[in-house]
Amino acid sequence: MYFIAILSALSAIAYALLILRLLRAWKELPAFSSSGNKAVKLSCSLLIPARNEEKNLTRCLKSLLKQKSTPKKIEYILIDDFSTDRTSNIAHSFQEQELQLIEMAKIQPDFKGPAYKKQAILQGIKSSTGDYLITTDADCSFKEQWIHNMLTQVREGQLEALTGPVLIRQPSNFWEHFQALDFLSLMGVTAAGYQTGKMHLANGANFCFSRQAFCQVNGYQGIDDIASGDDVLLMQKISTQYPGKTAFAKNPEAAVFTTAEPDLFAFWQQRLRWATKTTSHLQSSTQHLWAFVWLNYFSLLLGSASLFSASVGPASIFLFALSANALVDYLFLRSLAHFFGQTRSLRYFVPAFFMHRLYVLLIGVWALFQPAYRWKGRTLH
């Protein structure tokens, strides 16, 4: 029992050092703030792939059309990805407000996937004219100068690709606050990865890249047989082709807000979708990171058996390991929550801490042996 407890403690020390390194990198990454409200002189096309989003689409489009200080030449293009609800009808009602609509069911009725979303985005790119392309999701909402802030950083940094923060919109209960903390941790890891130069992650809900870079890396070629990964796998291709020309937008005004998953099944399917593309990452550093985190969580699970030991020693060692994990996680999340204005979610840190470890352990195993998942009414691998 002592051996297991000591193993947990050693793993906890290594984990603490890792999180402290990520925290340091997050703090060292300069925050970006655009000066002034003058429109950026870059042509831009905003692409919104949408499937069965009738509940969210109106809010999304109204939020987009309120954007201020946008480029003089900007296109809003919604690509209906074979929706079976009223998504297309809602999009039609916005066409008089500068929205272009592409319906996959009409232009590629026989397309069978699995990369449905990539194909939808690709059709949007083919129909667009902007030198810079921004992708987002149809369940998102935005601050009024989101596009302005993203393009300003692209211009001033002379970037080929930029990914921005994605946060949970107005969490109101434990389930939503738990997801808010989970998203904050992902944003912190993403930001730290760019600061260290060792990981290049991205989220398609807030992703800007140049047309030149997309063409130079041959778009989705080589990753077009993977159902997801239209964001992170493309970003990794671009970062390899253009070292130092990709970044994370550490800027609250550049944040995009998404809806929390409504129930455990939807949450599970979303996280399973994310987990299944990890093995396809083009940078081994991300795979090593997630593997290390999973092993640390597993060592804590094994170490919890020491709580039932007749000896006080193993239990004390395990509690040290658990406390070390909790402390560094809290410090990391507190810094992120303060920066993005989501400190209320910290009230739920303790139950979220345990719940996070449980789902990561389960997802890690499930994704290896049962990678199929349900998403937007489709079964994908």
Question: Does the pLDDT at position 36 exceed 70?
Answer: no
Q: Residue 116 belongs to a domain with what CATH number?
A: 3.90.550.10
- CA atoms of 183 and 97, how far apart (whole Å): 32
Least confident of 25-34, 342-351, 369-378: 369-378
How many domains does the structure of the chain reveal?
Answer: 2
Which domain range does residue 316 map to? Answer: 2-26+284-380
Higher pLDDT, 380 or 165: 165
Give residue 37's pLDDT: 66
In a domain, 347, yes or no: yes
> Does the pLDDT at position 248 exceed 70?
yes
Mean pLDDT of 115-142: 96
Same domain, 256 and 128: yes
Question: Do the domain assignments include residue 271?
Answer: no
Query: At 154, phi and psi to the nearest 5?
Result: -60, -45
Residue 95, C-beta contacts closer than 8 angstroms, at least 6 positions apart: 101
pLDDT band for 5, please (50, 70, 90 cuts).
confident
Q: Are residues 21 and 36 in the same domain?
A: no
Q: Is the pLDDT at 203 greater than 90, yes or no? A: yes
Mean pLDDT, residues 30-43 taken together: 81
pLDDT for 49: 97
Q: Is 279 within a domain? A: no
Q: Name the nearest CA neighbour of 147 among 236, 225, 220, 249.
A: 249
For β-strands 378-380 and 74-80, DSSP reports them as unpaired
Do 49 and 162 share a domain, yes or no?
Answer: yes
Q: Tell whether the model's pLDDT for residue 165 goes beyond 80.
A: yes
On whether residue 153 sits in a domain, the answer given is yes
> Does residue 55 share a domain with residue 18?
no
Is 113 in the same domain as 197? yes
239 and 355, same structural domain?
Answer: no
* 68: phi then psi, degrees, rounded to nearest 5: -115, 155
Residue pLDDT, tens place only, 324-371: 999 999 999 999 999 999 999 999 999 999 999 999 999 999 988 888
pLDDT reported for residue 50 = 97
Same domain, 19 and 42: no
Distance, in Å, from the CA atom of 223 to the CA atom of 115, rounded to the nearest integer, reads: 9
Residue 274 lies in a domain: no
Note the pLDDT tens digit of each residue in 213-233.
999 999 999 998 888 889 999
Q: Tell me if 335 is assigned to some domain.
A: yes
Examine the domain organization and report whether 353 and 253 are in the same domain: no
3-state DSSP assignment of residue 228: coil
In a domain, 193, yes or no: yes
CA quadruple 47, 52, 56, 57: dihedral sign: positive
Verify that 20 and 35 share a domain, yes or no. no
* Whether residue 49 is found in the same domain as residue 191: yes
Q: Which of 266, 301, 321 is a domain's end point?
A: 266
Model confidence over 64-115: pLDDT tens digits? 988 887 777 789 999 999 999 999 999 999 987 789 999 999 999 988 878 8
Tokens 């369940």 appear where?
139
Whether residue 10 is found in the same domain as residue 36: no
pLDDT at position 70 is 73
**Which of 216, 237, 266 finishes a domain?**
266
Residues 205 and 338 in one domain: no
What pLDDT does 310 receive?
60
Strand order in the sheet with 99-103: 99-103, 74-80, 44-50, 132-135, 207-210, 161-163, 246-248
Q: Is residue 275 part of a domain?
A: no
